[in-house]
Structure 1
Amino acid sequence: MTPREVVERWVALFNAADAAGLADLYHPEAINHQVTQDPIEGREAIRAMFEREFSAAKMVCIVETIHEAGEVAALEWRDPLGLRGCGFFTVRNGRIAFQRGYWDKLSFLKMHGLPIQ
């Protein structure tokens, strides 16, 4: 799959809250770094992160745009509650090797009635 196709599949699995399916899109040693948190290293740790997050809040990713350049796809997104963000996915051999995401964690926590950490 191209980086764009991987990100399109990622969005579909994210919106289905499919942690195992999402994890399968990552290289075994992938890194997912949401800048509001410490980086998560390894496919199994990434799967566990998604399981925790999906159990804490109903999350929906609405694609604004996807840009692709070489092995990187950039996803600009919003959610139904008004939160906006972007993610950068480095894809090698059809799997995500590195992901970095930018979004407002304080707004997310407030919107979902979660404790501010």
Structure 2
Amino acid sequence: MQPGEIVKAWVEAFNKGDARLISEFYAEDAVNHQVANEPVSGKAAITEMFAREFAASEMVCIVENIFQDGEWAILEWNDPIGLRGCGFFHVVEDKIVFQRGYWDKLRFLKAHNLPIPH
């Protein structure tokens, strides 16, 4: 599959809120770095991260655009409550090996009535 197709399928899994399902898109040694947080390394840790996040809030990813260049795909997204962001996915042999996401963490926490760290 092409990286853009992987990201499209990843979005479908993300919108199901199933951490185990979404983790299948990652290589064992993958890194997920949402820039508002510390990087998360390894498929098991990424699975745990998604499990915590899906339990804490209902998240929906609406695709605005998916761009592809070689082994990379870029996702521009929004959600029903007005958040917007983008993610960069490095895909090798049909697995995400690196992901970086940009979004407004403070706005996300406030929108979901989650505690704001001090």
Q: TM-score range by the shorter chain?
A: over 0.9
Matched positions, count: 117
Within the alignment, does 1:86 sit opposite 2:86 as a pair? Answer: yes
1:26-78 superposed Cα distances (whole Å, 9 cap, x missing partner): 00000000000000000000000000000000000000000000000000000
Q: How does 1:25-104 map to 2 (within 5 A)?
A: 25-104=25-104
Q: Could you tell me how far apart the structure 2 residues matched to 1:79 and 1:44 are?
A: 26
Q: Could you tell me how far apart the structure 1 residues matched to 2:6 and 2:48 are?
A: 20
Q: Could you tell me how far apart the structure 2 residues matched to 1:78 and 1:62 are?
A: 5
Q: Could you tell me how far apart the structure 1 residues matched to 2:40 and 2:9 are?
A: 20
- Taking only the aligned residue pairs, the percentage that are identical comes to 57
Q: Could you tell me how far apart the structure 2 residues matched to 1:23 and 1:113 are?
A: 26
Q: Could you tell me how far apart the structure 1 residues matched to 2:22 and 2:45 are?
A: 12
Q: Could you tell me how far apart the structure 2 residues matched to 1:4 and 1:18 are?
A: 21
1:65-101 superposed Cα distances (whole Å, 9 cap, x missing partner): 0000000000000000000000000000000000000
The DSSP-based 3-state class of the residue aligned with 2:28 is: strand
Structure 2 residue identity aligned to 1:12: E
Q: Could you tell me how far apart the structure 1 residues matched to 2:45 and 2:32 are?
A: 9
Q: Could you tell me how far apart the structure 2 residues matched to 1:50 and 1:16 are?
A: 12
The DSSP-based 3-state class of the residue aligned with 1:20 is: helix
Q: Could you tell me how far apart the structure 2 residues matched to 1:55 and 1:20 are?
A: 13
Task: Flag structure 1 segments of 5+ consecutive residues without an equivalent.
Answer: none
The DSSP-based 3-state class of the residue aligned with 1:29 is: strand
Task: Flag structure 2 segments of 5+ consecutive residues without an equivalent.
Answer: none
Runs of 4+ in 1 over 3 A off after TM superposition: none
TM-score (norm: length of structure 1)? 0.99
